[in-house]
Amino acid sequence: MSIYTINQKKLVPISERKMDLERDIQKLTEENLDILFGSTFVSGSLNQEFSVRAQEQDFYIDTLAFDESQKSFVIIEYKKDRSFSVIDQGFAYLSAMLNHKADFVLELNERLHKTVTKSDIDWEQSRVIFISPEFTNYQKNAINFKDLPIFLYEAHLYENNLVEYDAIKPYRASESITKLSHDKTIANVTKEVHVYNESDLVKPAWTNTADLLRQFEQQLMTTIRETKVKYTKYYIAYTCRRGHDIVNYVEIVPQQQGLKLYYRFYFNFTKSSLPLVDCSKVGHWTNGNTTTLLSSTDQFPEALRLASSSYDFIRQQTGKKK
């Protein structure tokens, strides 16, 4: 895709600069992990690469990051070679991590001065990110699985200090890799690592709930265009930026009778025609403080208004204690 700047109503092409993965992109990525992937830097080129020895092979992790919200590790690798297999290498890194959990936890504790244990980590939501100037069609097609914990980003540098991180989206990712692969490493990793999607949270018989979710999500993302969707083990998160952080402003727990929506604002923040419930002092899986049940499309306008209020509320918390 060509990128242009506007000069006196004319489009002027912006030239791409030659990129050094290690010097330019890796360091830039590590310094901005919170903005790019909502993660915290642990180790890499900014301090010292972390490595483990697994199956008589040394695995050097280009960048090790930690997702504080999901309590899981993120392994980031930078690739110039277009011939590597994203599946083989991705699962090899995950396998090395799962077989050396104590080493990863020790690295996390020493670098970030934490005191977490192996049981504190959600290993199930571990993932690998590959960053490259360009991926082949073969590599792009290799990620067309719904449960693949491997993600591809093409990175480009342009004139005027413009940077692009282009996420490669799976095409029709409906099949599970476990059904098509008999590789032992893949089988072992998929027993512990899982990528969540709609089918994990919406039961097959909940057809009305599934319809409500898709329609509401479509309207929400039209209303607040910067919204990104993230599936977790217990809920669906709709995120926005707050300063340098990526935060959830609405979360949804699908139920048989409809969608339980959680908003970040407090119970007395706004009035509503929907029955709001204060959940700030009640145990639940989400980060919300106020909840309501959405059971009909007639409730969409008010639910979307509340979502906008939650969006404004959470963005106003920049610099404040979470």
pLDDT in tens, the chain (322 residues): 678 889 888 988 888 888 776 678 899 999 999 989 989 999 999 998 999 987 778 889 999 999 998 899 999 999 988 888 999 999 999 999 999 999 999 999 999 999 999 999 999 999 999 999 999 999 998 888 877 899 999 999 888 888 999 999 887 666 777 766 677 888 899 889 988 989 899 999 999 999 999 999 999 999 999 999 999 989 999 999 887 778 899 999 999 999 999 999 999 999 999 999 999 988 888 889 999 999 999 999 999 999 999 999 998 875 444 4
The count of other CB atoms within 10 Å of the CB of residue 49 is 13
What is the residue range of 155's domain? 14-190
Whether residues 218 and 265 share a domain: the answer is yes
Cβ neighbors of 100 (< 8 A, separation 6 or more) are: 52, 54
CA distance 87 to 124: 18
Asked if residue 162 and residue 105 are part of one domain, the reply reads yes
Q: Which of 165, 190, 215 is the last residue of a domain?
A: 190
Q: Residue type for 5, please?
A: T
At 169, give phi and psi (nearest 5°).
Answer: -85, 135
String of b and e for 31-42 (b: at least 16 CB within 10 Å)? eebbebbbbebb
Task: Give the CATH number of the domain where residue 51 resides.
Answer: 3.40.1350.10
Residue 48 backbone dihedrals phi, psi, to 5 degrees:
-160, 130
Task: Return the pLDDT at 241.
Answer: 83
Give the per-residue pLDDT at 322: 40
Tell me which residue of 103, 114, 92, 100 sits closest to 40, measured CA to CA: 114
State how many domains the chain has: 2
Instruction: Find, among 270, 276, 274, 275, the residue nearest to 299 by Cα.
Output: 274
Query: C-alpha 164: how far from its chain's center?
Result: 17
Per-residue pLDDT at 174: 63
Q: Backbone phi, then psi, for 243, in 5-degree steps?
A: 65, -125
**Which among 173, 190, 207 is the end of a domain?**
190
Say whether both 42 and 184 belong to one domain. Answer: yes
| 71 shares its domain with 23 | yes
The phi and psi torsions of 20 (rounded to 5 degrees) equal -105, 110
| Same domain membership, residue 286 and residue 174 | no
